[in-house]
Amino acid sequence: MRRVELYSGVVVLVLLAATCHSQPRYWIALNFDVTFRKEGVALVKALLHPFTLEGESLYGNATIEEELREAQNLTVDEIALMFANNPKTLRYRVVEELHRDDEAVVYCDVYGYGTFEELRGAYTITVLIYLNTSEFVEVSDSVVIVKVRDSYTSRDPRSWIDVLRVSFERGVLLEYSWLPSTANGPAVTAEDRLVWENLNERDAPDFYIFKLRIPNFKLATLPSRLKARIGGISVKDSVVQVRILTEEGEGYAYIRLIEEGGEQTRKVYLKEEHSIKVGIRAVTRPLRVELWSSSKLLDSAEVSASVERISIPSWPFNPIRLLGIALLVAATVIVVMALRFSAEPRVPVPSQSGVEERPPL
Looking at the domain assignment, is residue 328 inside a domain?
no
Q: Are residues 184 and 246 in the same domain?
A: no
Please give the residue that has the higher pLDDT: either 234 or 16: 234
Predicted local confidence at residue 208, as pLDDT: 98
The domain boundary, picked from 155, 179, 212, lies at: 212
Q: Mean pLDDT across the chain, nearest whole number?
A: 83
Q: DSSP character for 356?
A: P
Predicted local confidence at residue 353, as pLDDT: 41
Give the number of C-alpha atoms closer than 13 A to the C-alpha of residue 2, restricted to the C-beta side.
14
Q: What is the pLDDT of residues 104-124, one digit of tens each?
A: 999 999 999 999 999 999 999
Predicted local confidence at residue 343, as pLDDT: 57
Q: Are residues 40 and 72 in the same domain?
A: yes
Predicted local confidence at residue 260, as pLDDT: 87
Predicted local confidence at residue 339, as pLDDT: 66
Check pLDDT > 60 for residue 361.
Answer: no
In the chain, where do the E strands start and end?
A: 12-15, 26-36, 41-52, 92-108, 117-130, 137-140, 143-149, 163-168, 173-179, 188-190, 193-197, 207-212, 227-236, 239-248, 251-259, 262-270, 275-281, 286-293, 296-302
Q: Are residues 106 and 138 in the same domain?
A: yes
Predicted local confidence at residue 297, as pLDDT: 86
Domain range for 137: 6-212
Q: What is the pLDDT of residues 239-252, one digit of tens each?
A: 999 999 999 888 88
Domain total of the chain = 2
The domain boundary, picked from 309, 328, 356, lies at: 309
Q: Are residues 73 and 196 in the same domain?
A: yes
CATH number at residue 272: 2.60.40.10
Q: Are residues 188 and 59 in the same domain?
A: yes
CB contact burial 169-203 (16+ within 10 A = b; e otherwise): eeebbeebebeeeebeebeeeeeeebbbbbbebee
Please give the residue that has the higher pLDDT: either 71 or 44: 44
Q: Are residues 299 and 172 in the same domain?
A: no
Q: How many helices (H) and strands (E) does the chain have?
A: 4, 19
The mean pLDDT of 289-299, rounded to a whole number, is: 84
**Cα four-point dihedral sign 128, 133, 134, 140:** positive
Q: What is the pLDDT of residues 300-321, one digit of tens each?
A: 999 975 444 333 343 444 556 6
Please give the residue that has the higher pLDDT: either 357 or 41: 41
Please tell me the distance from the alpha carbon of residue 332 to that of residue 344, in angstroms, as a whole number. 19
Predicted local confidence at residue 340, as pLDDT: 64
Looking at the domain assignment, is residue 340 inside a domain?
no
Q: Are residues 198 and 277 in the same domain?
A: no
Q: Are residues 234 and 208 in the same domain?
A: no
**Cα four-point dihedral sign 196, 200, 203, 205:** positive
The pTM for the full model equals: 0.61
Predicted local confidence at residue 131, as pLDDT: 98
The mean pLDDT of 163-183, rounded to a whole number, is: 96
Q: Are residues 182 and 235 in the same domain?
A: no
Check pLDDT > 80 for residue 154.
Answer: no
Looking at the domain assignment, is residue 314 inside a domain?
no
Please tell me the distance from the alpha carbon of residue 219 to that of residue 144, in angstroms, as a whole number. 10
Q: Are residues 207 and 244 in the same domain?
A: no
Q: Do 239 and 281 meet the contact criterion of CB atoms below 8 Å apart?
A: yes
Predicted local confidence at residue 295, as pLDDT: 62
Q: Are residues 62 and 194 in the same domain?
A: yes
- In sequence order, what are the residues at sequence separation of 6 or more whose Cβ sits closer than 8 angstroms to the Cβ of residue 304? none
CATH number at residue 166: 2.60.40
Would you call 360 exposed, middle or buried from its count of C-beta atoms within 10 A (0-12, 13-18, 19+)? Answer: exposed
Q: What is the pLDDT of residues 89-105, one digit of tens each?
A: 899 999 999 999 999 99
Q: Are residues 81 and 154 in the same domain?
A: yes
